[in-house]
Amino acid sequence: MKMLKHTSVVAALAAAGAVSFVGSASAVGVNVDGLGEALIYPYYTARGGNATLLSLVNTTTQAKVVKVRFREAKNSEDVLDFNLYLSPYDVWTGGVFANGAGARLITSDTSCTAPAKTAWIALGGGAYAVDFFKFAYEATDGDTQTLDRTLEGYVEVIEMATILSSGTVSGPIYKALKHVAGVAPCGSDIPTGSSTTIGDGIVAPTGGLFGASTYVSLGNGAATSVNATAMNGFGRTGRITPSDNVSPNLFDHGSAIAAVTTPTQVVVANMTVAIDPVIEGTQTISAARATSAAITSSNVYGEYGYTADLSIASDWVITFPTKSFFVNRAVALAPFSKIWNKTTKTACETVALTSTDREEVRASGPGVGFSPKPPDADPNSLCYEANVISFGSGAKATGASGVLASANTLWFAGTQGARDGGWLDLQFTGVNAAAGVPGALVAGLDLTSGAPIAPGSVTFVGLPVVGFSASGIKVTAPAAGLPRDNYSASANLAFKKNIKFGIQ
């Protein structure tokens, strides 16, 4: 059964007479076609001689302003934010590279930014750079830390507004951002101040964005790419926040409703929860739970391969884009089970692992797991916002990951015997992940029978997760007359959704 794209969810439910909220609310969901108003790039790295190249494409006839936010991998703290203004049909590109102890963004793109390029570092030849910052994670953790944490993480791009070509507010902005002979004029009409910009012609986001990240092993002749995860339905009004503002994010949007498709079901659920000001503070977490439900899975499946000398290696990237909203508190909130520990710099979630080689030899339970054990972690735990699982065994299976050179890595030996690979079933087993997060079923459709699903409660089991696998091959001893080559490839991981229903 083909999975429905997000834009078809409400239409399918309405056709079945199963939905009553059409036109009165938005529903957050993943667009499997890859077009969205928010994009999550699951990983960036500037470690170990690697660089990450990013692209962002506006497929529409409309101008847009987006927030570009780089988050470090351990606890999702901001390391760089800026506003980007996109012309109709525009493409923005940039790259993350190591610069001394930390990372920096370099771009030769002419699209307008806030802060303006005059505040960036001019590299010559039309290229500009800005170095990543450590202020946010030092403030959260309360101690002096190095820039090393900026070297890997993930990226959010969130549309703030569509900018019409005419309007008392939007007209001058549109004229400033619209490319003329390949260059945007920019200038003083691009909002750069400390106040939020709203008004005539600054309208709600309309989506239509896609993007990708490419991981380049500099000097080794290898690269691989993955697409960003696209999401829609956040219910935002049009407003341009200052470039240093934490809004918009995946928490502060206008929808507490999640739209989720599986191979056999379409589910629309209201994730509104009562506020406990002692535990949660005064801000509702319903919007964060709606975003999380849309990308929640109970299991992650994927292939791996490695050799003893790691001339063949595999890495999995497992990223939890909304984790920080639930763990940076006095008490961890579901679906996550442990708070961020400022001393060990971890917030660990347990997993169960079942490995199968290519000839059906399976192993699980005690003795099948990760090394080394992270601080403050149970065995087989993922402790960061963006985690890298590297596959390999023997003396070389230590330290940085085998393909992406991640420092947030766990090594997994797998079950190979004499085989050269297999596949892994990773299941989230934390107390709150296993129990799931409840919501109220607004509408549901059984895609097998075409019948509506009876109203009641619905529970999303697992954790909100995105990611991919990357593999590398190094030809260390080529045949006579042949070059020494390196190769990289990437593939989607498979994510299993576990949605439970119950009559209220």
Query: DSSP of 290-327, one letter per residue?
Result: HHHHHTEESEEEEEEE--TTSSEEEEEEEE-TTTHHHH
C-alpha atoms less than 13 angstroms from C-alpha of 289 in its C-beta half-sphere: 27
User: Helix %, strand %, coil % for the chain, to 5?
Assistant: 10, 40, 50
28 touches 234 (CB < 8 A): yes
What is the rounded distance in angstroms from the CA atom of residue 350 to the CA atom of residue 248? 30
Domain ranges across the chain:
34-253, 297-436+465-502
Amino acid residing at 264: T
- C-beta atoms surrounding 456 within 10 Å: 12
What is the rounded distance in angstroms from the CA atom of residue 485 to the CA atom of residue 117? 39
DSSP string, 46-98: --TTEEEEEEEEE-SSSEEEEEEEEEETTT--EEEEEEEEE-TT-EEEEEEEE
What is the rounded distance in angstroms from the CA atom of residue 115 to the CA atom of residue 141? 27
Q: How far lies 149's CA from each of 46, 98, 174, 363, 411, in Å?
A: 11, 12, 37, 34, 20
What is the residue-level pLDDT of the chain in tens, covering all 504 positions? Answer: 344 455 555 555 544 444 444 444 689 999 999 999 999 999 999 999 999 999 999 999 999 999 999 999 999 999 999 999 999 999 999 999 999 999 999 999 999 999 999 999 999 999 999 999 999 999 999 989 999 999 999 999 999 999 999 999 999 999 999 999 989 999 999 998 788 999 999 999 999 999 999 999 998 888 999 999 999 999 999 999 999 999 999 999 989 999 999 889 999 999 987 655 555 554 568 999 999 999 999 999 999 999 888 888 999 999 999 999 999 998 999 999 999 999 999 999 999 999 998 888 888 877 788 888 777 677 799 999 999 999 988 778 899 999 999 999 999 987 766 567 899 999 999 999 999 999 999 999 999 998 999 889 999 999 999 999 999 988 766 566 655 568 899 999 999 999 999 854
Between strands 386-391 and 409-412, the pairing is parallel
347 touches 383 (CB < 8 A): yes
96 touches 44 (CB < 8 A): yes
pLDDT of 202: 98
Classify the C-alpha dihedral 10-16-19-24 as positive or negative. positive
Plot region of 481 (φ>0 → left; ψ -120 to 50 → alpha; else → beta):
left
Lookup: tokens for 334: 């579901």
Q: Find the radius of gyration of the CA atoms of the chain.
A: 23
Per the confidence metrics, is the pTM higher than 0.95? Answer: no
Q: Quick one: which H or E segment has residue 279? A: helix 277-280
pLDDT of 479: 65
What residues have CB less than 8 Å from 52, skipping those under 6 apart? 43, 44, 45, 46, 95, 96, 213, 214, 215, 216
- C-beta atoms surrounding 220 within 10 Å: 16
pLDDT of 5: 54
- C-beta atoms surrounding 192 within 10 Å: 18
Lookup: tokens for 485: 């080559």
